[in-house]
Chains A and B, each alone.
Chain A
Amino acid sequence: MGGSPDISKKQLDHPLDDLIRTDRLPHIWCAGCGIGTVFSSCLTAIKASELELNNISMVSGIGCSGRAAGYVKLDSFHTTHGRAIPFATGLKLGNPDLNVIVFSGDGDLFAIGGNHMIHAARRNMDITVICVNNLNYGMTGGQVAATTPHMAKSTTTPSGNPEDPFNLPLLAYASGATYVARWTMLHTRELTSSIQEAILKKGFSFIEVLSPCPVNYGRRNKEKALDTLKLYQEKTIIRNGAIPAGLDIDFSKEVVLGKFVDVERDTYIERYEKICRQES
């Protein structure tokens, strides 16, 4: 027959529907927000990893990214502000067979919860941490964060941020993470396979994902959602194995993406079994 499509036909299911609590939709993320893309990448990576879904759990803290744990149809845990990693640590220790993914934001993981991040990396807890970095506290309305660029505007730094932000991959590397990468949400393919790699890798894996917050960060820094994506396209360069000390984010020059660290080291649980559980 041909002609116009049959609109009475039931809409096809989304390929990720089986991993989403569709009853929780619509989600709260704003139009133009990048979190949804990172979330999809993560779910796609989970599928591609072919891991037993019953053995995966997702943990998030508080903030816009933190909502992910409420949308995923896996065992999930929406915790308190900054504490996603200690909750995840507890999950992993309680059931070492679990594959534990922390999905949270920069504010949650590196400001109020920064302490937990460095210690989990130091111990080499076998978990994967995906940090959606939108350069500010989005959920509470765009306040300055530990990742906000120097001189950027936020609702609590109207005349520009006087402080310097963290270089997250450097911090993760220095703390002992065995897998460290950075992507933007525009680099969906690289991001997805990187997440898959991180999930399958033993040890503490950390992935920073740059993601636009047009509603709060963008608006105050004269960056429309599309402008941010253009920056992601034009100002980034993929340099696998780059030295973490040179990974400061400066979109006026270039921002380096890639996989920077991929090494092997005993995990916390392995060491614990060897040293503390060994029969004397």
Chain B
Amino acid sequence: MSKILAITGAGAMSQAMRQINPDVVPAFPITPSTQVVEDFSQFVADGLVDTEFITVESEHSAMSACIGASIAGGRVMTATSSAGMALMWEMLYVASSMRQPVVLTLINRAMSAPINIHADHSDSMGARDAGWIQLYSESNQEAYDNLIMAPRIAEASDVRLPIMICLDGFIISHCVQTMQMEDDDKVREFIGEFKPAYSLLDTENPVSWGALDLQDYYIEHKRAQHMAMQNAKESIKLVSEEFYQCFGRKYELFESYCLDDAERVIIAINSIAGEIKEVVDDLRNKGEKVGLLKIRSFRPFPYEEIAESLKSAKIVTVLDRSESMGAYGPLFTEIRTALFDVPDRPMVYNRMFGLGGRELFMSDIQNIFEESNRYLENGKVEKVFDYLNVRGG
């Protein structure tokens, strides 16, 4: 039976993992993702899953064990945050280059130093070129739904890439929200069996993995990964559509909120979208043509689709929660690229916010819309890049 639960974001992820019932989960704790594997270890102890649960000695080992188990033909999952993901770095590339559909819950947290345990996206944005599919989630429900869809998206035969489902540390991972948890059997039926392409345990058809690959083939393999990532776009759409048919919640590559006739648009990722929607509703009630575009799939990045949906926009504010010192924010860079070929393209500018968990309030979002209105009236963006809510700014 599906049911409504009050649960934290991390709890929602562990429930999804229980329903997926992966073959292997290697785990190493790090705040704020620890609860995911902690809850899961209880499910293992209670016999609710058939998973081999390994408590490894570091995140580098966790991702290495994921890759080994995946190559052996298992469905594999783990969870991490921030420095944990950084320690996995080498292996992130190995997972994607060996085309292993490992599923990772990434609870977004700022990178050290100074030490900070709160939400920003510097961990996943740093890993954006590692060849992983990246889906972002505004709420517990979205994170849970994304995780249920993740194995199917990643395991599609023309994709076979690892996938990370991202959600904001503490704001989502540790806050209780209500969420629809679907029926166990229905979820298992939706996900189906994992059929590995070349399993090490398939002794009839022996294969070697990870052999040296120099000037002779390396670049072809990279191109193959690039093409697989392009295919992932279709896979995300197909699986999301099927998910909608099964469970009734609709997901696209990004969410368009009041976008159809919107002139002033904010583009953002993850939990801050909740506050933006509230402000959009308020301003819409006052007759202002404002809207939100919320990114779900950052890798692959839906350039054409985003350009198409911003046709009526006159000015776009891109909110980044991850620095790329000496450059614009990573989301802004993509959005500007997406808009370049649009005839009569809107003005576009970048605001950095929320690093290390600094709050952005609804009044701040109102100020953004006021500023974009001013820019629009003056026909000119005064500051293409700036920080929000920062001392000495």
Contact = CB atoms under 8 A, between A and B. Distances in A.
B34 interface: yes
B34 A140 contact: yes
B57 interface: yes
A246 interface: no
Given A112-B57, A140-B34, A158 B29 contact: no
Contact of A155 (B30, B38, B53, B83): B38
Interface in B20-77: 27-31, 34, 37-38, 41-42, 45-46, 53, 55, 57-58
Nearest to A112: B58
B112 A111 contact: no
Contact of A157 (B41, B58, B83, B113): B41
A173 interface: no
Interface residues of A, number: 21
Contacts of A203: none
A137 B55 CA distance: 12
A156 B55 contact: yes
A146 B57 CA distance: 7
B58 A144 contact: no
A144 B55 contact: yes
B115 interface: yes
A123 interface: no
Contacts of B45: 157-159
A128 interface: no
A96 interface: no
A158 B34 contact: no
A156 B41 contact: yes
A104 to B, nearest CB: 14
Nearest to B37: A156
Nearest to A78: B115
A156 B38 contact: yes
Contacts of A144: 55
Interface in B156-184: none
A143 B83 contact: no
A143 B57 contact: no
B86 to A, nearest CB: 9
8 residue pairs, one from A and one from B, having the closest CB atoms? A158-B45, A140-B29, A112-B58, A111-B57, A159-B45, A156-B41, A143-B29, A155-B38
Given A141-B34, A156-B41, 8 more contacts: A112-B57, A140-B29, A140-B30, A143-B34, A143-B38, A156-B29, A156-B55, A158-B46
23 contacts: A62-B115, A78-B115, A80-B83, A80-B112, A81-B83, A81-B87, A111-B58, A112-B28, A114-B57, A140-B29, A140-B30, A141-B29, A141-B38, A143-B38, A144-B55, A146-B57, A155-B38, A155-B41, A156-B53, A157-B45, A157-B55, A158-B45, A159-B45
